[in-house]
A and B are shown apart, each in its own frame.
Chain A
Amino acid sequence: MKRRFEIGILYSRSGNYRLVSDACRKGALSAIADVNADPASPVALAPVDYDPQGNADGYAAGCAEILQKSSARHIIGCITSWSRKEVIPVLERSGGTLWYACPYEGFETSDHVVYMHACPNQQLLPLFSHVVPRFGANGFLLGSNYIWGWEMNRVARDLIADAGGEVRGERYLPLGETDVARLIEEIRATRPGFVFNNLIGSSSYAFLRAYAELGRTDGHFLPQNCPVISCNLTECELEAIGAAGKGHLSAGPYFHEPRGDDRGGYRPRSSFEAAAYASVRVLAEILADNPDAGWEDLPAAFAERRFETPFGATAIDPRTQHATLPVVIGRIEDDGFRIVSRKTDVAPDPYLSRYDRAAQFGEARLRVVAP
């Protein structure tokens, strides 16, 4: 006889990052179905859905409603860091936990959040290690105008300085803005070696399409010469980008390999789907051991243990509640991503406290700094 638990699902089904949101929601719901169908699990999960409709202010209200009106203590949800930061005070007041399935900019550890996707030492740092030796250290930094773009680009500025390069430009667009003509002109004029793209949703698709057009008129901007690199681009958005994405690079904990060896079991279509799926599977294992597990029980539940997830056997650091993850760099091809590098078991370092300039770029690239 299974014991029934309600769990919150807090993803938008409309708005300009809907594709990412849908991927996460699909991952969470697939995992719920798998747990419910698993005769070996004593847990049955019932989703309590709330749709903030892509409105940043809707998340705190949705989180409060789930925690007040249902028995759910755990919520799988939030896409943007803006929304995550909005719900943390609600979680603290009500004793809830958010399982967060998106890459984020680091520099946060809340007792009320489990971070199941990559932080900068698991995406940004390895991506720059891969890109700088191949395309140089001069970058152009783009972002949507909120915390993800600001913080990712802040770390990128430091990395570019440490690599002896130059930030050729740094520009932000309001969420949802699709007029990218000026950005493209600035990139054409400053001729960087790569473009670091932290635009999200429709802004990002518009930019990639315009950049592909730029590449057709000026060969410097073809992906083999000056790629667009990102830490949040996955399969779930490739259809919206179309052929314009081809050749560009992205880093994440997982890519769905079209020709990969299928070992059976659930194979998510993107790392967003994988991380949301992993969140529910880990939560189900914890509830199976301790049906009353709340936020204060999580560090003990994570200690000395690994959970079976689409990322492999996954450890979660009890101190920071961030997952140890693979780091994969993929290049977009016709039918998905082709893996160009892979590391396994990269422990999280949300505050980049283990960052070492020499290890990142090699001694030779270190800038000479006046005393």
Chain B
Amino acid sequence: MNRRARIPTLGGATAYVLHRAHPTAQTLVRQLSAIGLTAIDCWPELPPAALSADFVFFDVDLGFDEQFPWKPGEAPMPMVALIGSEAPGRIEWALFTHRANAHVLKPVGTAGIYSSLLIARQNFEERKQLAARIDALQARVAERHTIVRAVAALSKDSDYEQGFARLRLLAMNWQTSIEEAAGRVVAMAENEDGNDRRHHA
């Protein structure tokens, strides 16, 4: 059954507001605490503790790469861009370099902040899950060569259909993926080769 998505509770979460001292930062901190978050404003750098934050709001108008204690685009939490001037270069910096998960337009009012938190978190989680799936798929693609070698090792008289059927059966019996079973078959085949070579030496 598909479990219904649920709006997360934000109480107790921590947000850093990376913005110079300004009514925008004050309004944002006030609204974030009204929503139940602990909000901390800072400028020009994020303090070390920001690494464990749940959200970072960052100023797009005056921001620069060195403010962040991580490589551009690799923030470990959802990032919300604070956009004042909609200069294309600045938006590009926020969107492509720092991969903002959501944005809020300045001047900041009471509206828009709650939804930016939910949208940023959702985007961040989806992106993380997608990246994990791509990693897993890439790892499987990388095992193609191993599968070919395992099928070859399991095939008698060059009957590759039969070799692949054996590999699939082994994977089922071992309760592993085809790629992992292939890895084991190849390792066993190499061991036997080594033993054979030692015996013949």
Q: Does B109 contact A (CB under 8 A)?
A: yes
Q: Does B10 contact A (CB under 8 A)?
A: yes
Contacts of B6 in A (CB 8 A): 158, 161
Cβ 8 A contact of A352, one of B4, B11, B30, B110:
B11
Over the window 1-36 of chain B, the binary record of Cβ atoms lying under 8 Å from chain A Cβ atoms (1 yes, 0 no) is 000101101111000000000000000001101111
A353/B110 in contact, CB under 8 A: no
Q: Chain A's nearest CB lies how many Å from the CB of B125?
A: 16
Q: Does A111 contact B (CB under 8 A)?
A: yes
Q: Chain A's nearest CB lies how many Å from the CB of B38?
A: 11
Q: Does A354 contact B (CB under 8 A)?
A: yes
The docked-state distance in angstroms from the alpha carbon of A154 to that of B35 is 18
Task: Say yes or no: A110-B11 contact (C-beta < 8 A), given A157-B4, A319-B33, A351-B35.
Answer: no
Q: Does B43 contact A (CB under 8 A)?
A: no
Closest residue of A by beta carbon distance from B115? A107
Q: At the interface, is chain A mostly helix, strand, loop or mixed?
A: loop
Cβ 8 A contact of B110, one of A110, A158, A349, A354:
A110
The docked-state distance in angstroms from the alpha carbon of A319 to that of B39 is 13
B9/A352 in contact, CB under 8 A: yes
Contacts of A111 in B (CB 8 A): 109-110
A107/B114 in contact, CB under 8 A: yes
A349/B7 in contact, CB under 8 A: no
Q: Does A92 contact B (CB under 8 A)?
A: yes
Closest residue of B by beta carbon distance from A349? B36
Contacts of B10 in A (CB 8 A): 351, 353
B30/A353 in contact, CB under 8 A: no
The docked-state distance in angstroms from the alpha carbon of A163 to that of B144 is 48
Contacts of B34 in A (CB 8 A): 109, 319-320, 350-351
Task: Say yes or no: A154-B111 contact (C-beta < 8 A), given A319-B30, A319-B33.
Answer: no
Contacts of A110 in B (CB 8 A): 110-111
Contacts of B7 in A (CB 8 A): 154, 158
Over the window 11-50 of chain A, the binary record of Cβ atoms lying under 8 Å from chain B Cβ atoms (1 yes, 0 no) is 0000000000000000000000000000000000000000
Contacts of B4 in A (CB 8 A): 157
Interface size of B as a range: 10 to 19
Contacts of A355 in B (CB 8 A): 9, 11
Contacts of B30 in A (CB 8 A): 319
Q: How many A residues, CB 8 Å from partner? A: 19
Q: In residues 75-116 of chain A, which contact B (Cβ within 8 Å)?
A: 88, 92, 107, 109-111
Q: Chain A's nearest CB lies how many Å from the CB of B71?
A: 31
Task: Say yes or no: A353-B36 contact (C-beta < 8 A), given A109-B110, A110-B110.
Answer: yes
Contacts of B33 in A (CB 8 A): 319
Task: Say yes or no: A109-B12 contact (C-beta < 8 A), given A351-B114, A354-B36.
Answer: no
Closest residue of B by beta carbon distance from A321? B34
The docked-state distance in angstroms from the alpha carbon of A349 to that of B10 is 12
The docked-state distance in angstroms from the alpha carbon of A111 to that of B108 is 12
The docked-state distance in angstroms from the alpha carbon of A109 to that of B37 is 14
Q: Chain B's nearest CB lies how many Å from the CB of A124?
A: 15
Over the window 33-52 of chain B, the binary record of Cβ atoms lying under 8 Å from chain A Cβ atoms (1 yes, 0 no) is 11111000000000000000
Contacts of A320 in B (CB 8 A): 34
Cβ 8 A contact of B35, one of A88, A158, A161, A353:
A353
The docked-state distance in angstroms from the alpha carbon of A81 to that of B111 is 15
Cβ 8 A contact of B31, one of A92, A109, A161:
A109
The docked-state distance in angstroms from the alpha carbon of A92 to that of B9 is 28
Over the window 297-323 of chain A, the binary record of Cβ atoms lying under 8 Å from chain B Cβ atoms (1 yes, 0 no) is 000000000000000000000011000
The docked-state distance in angstroms from the alpha carbon of A354 to that of B33 is 12
Q: Chain B's nearest CB lies how many Å from the CB of A268?
A: 29
Closest residue of B by beta carbon distance from A299? B30
Closest residue of A by beta carbon distance from B117? A351
The docked-state distance in angstroms from the alpha carbon of A110 to that of B111 is 7
The docked-state distance in angstroms from the alpha carbon of A161 to that of B5 is 12
Residue of A109, A158, A350 with most partner-chain B CB within 10 A? A109
Task: Say yes or no: A354-B111 contact (C-beta < 8 A), given A158-B6, A319-B30, A319-B34.
Answer: no
Known: A109-B31, A111-B109, A158-B7. 11 other contacts (CB 8 A): A109-B34, A109-B110, A157-B4, A350-B34, A351-B11, A351-B114, A352-B9, A353-B10, A353-B11, A353-B36, A353-B37
Please list 17 pairs of residues, one from A and one from B, whose beta carbons are closer than 8 Å in the complex, sorted by A's number: A109-B31, A109-B35, A109-B110, A110-B111, A154-B7, A158-B6, A161-B6, A319-B30, A319-B34, A320-B34, A350-B34, A351-B34, A351-B36, A354-B11, A354-B36, A355-B9, A355-B11
| Residues of chain B having any CB pair with chain A under 8 Å | 4, 6-7, 9-12, 30-31, 33-37, 109-111, 114
| Residues of chain A having any CB pair with chain B under 8 Å | 88, 92, 107, 109-111, 154, 157-158, 161, 319-320, 349-355
Q: Which 7 A-B pairs have the closest CB atoms?
A: A353-B36, A353-B11, A109-B34, A319-B34, A320-B34, A351-B35, A110-B110
